[in-house]
A and B are shown apart, each in its own frame.
Chain A
């Protein structure tokens, strides 16, 4: 499945580093999402972009900064992270048609470890 790609697949960073996660969707969708998947916790929605405008920010700490330059690309900029931010970060995309029945298509994720 290559509809949604994410790079890098693995990332190890120190608490003082700055890094970025990249997501690209090849499905022609108009909405993109960042999720955090931690052990023993449900997937947490972090950010939603619809038509390149941020429409949802679920009280995510400011050390996570999203960027959506166009409908195909989504970035998550990381700085001064904490060890508890270690998780699998998943990107998804969907074609919004209204009503909430749209299927979200997920990338393989970036496994982030913060030392």
Chain B
């Protein structure tokens, strides 16, 4: 069965600093990988996803993630954090055609 581990339940960075949110997965088949963001009192919104092809995936709001098969990782990055990036971020992998398996989530705090 597929699973997802997000390293660090809380990450805090300064405004303008690099954002790095870590995600490792386990999958017995080639995975489809997703990053979702959840702002307070809202549902989840897709940031980006990896299916096939280019391993560096660009998403919305300046985020990108790189699929590294050898490391079973799909870390999310953004070169320069903005105050509006404060939210909870979820990494997910598909298990079967309709089932997403989510990580525990990482709460990102941006310090002025």
Contact = CB atoms under 8 A, between A and B. Distances in A.
Interface of A: 1, 4, 6, 31, 33, 40-43, 45, 48, 50, 55-56, 90, 92, 94, 96, 98-109
Q: Residue among A4, A33, A99, A104 with the most chain B CB within 10 A?
A: A104
Contacts of A1: 45
Contacts of B49: 101, 103
Contact of A107 (B43, B98, B99, B101): B43
B43 A100 contact: no
A108 B98 contact: no
A6 to B, nearest CB: 8
Contacts, number: 64
Given A92-B43, A92-B44, A107-B43, 15 more contacts: A42-B102, A42-B103, A42-B105, A56-B99, A90-B43, A96-B97, A98-B97, A99-B32, A99-B97, A100-B32, A100-B97, A104-B44, A106-B36, A106-B43, A108-B41
Contacts of A106: 36, 43-45
A31 B95 CA distance: 16
Interface residue tally on B, bucketed by range: 20 to 34
B52 to A, nearest CB: 8
Given A45-B99, A45-B100, A48-B98, A103 B105 contact: no
Interface of B: 4, 32, 34, 36, 41-46, 49, 51, 90, 94-105
A40 B99 CA distance: 21
Contacts of B90: 43
| Complex A-B, nearest 7 residue pairs according to Cβ-Cβ distance, in ascending order | A106-B43, A100-B94, A101-B51, A106-B44, A43-B102, A101-B32, A42-B102
Contact of A108 (B34, B43, B95): B43
Contacts of B94: 100-101
Contacts of A109: 42-43
Contacts of A55: 98
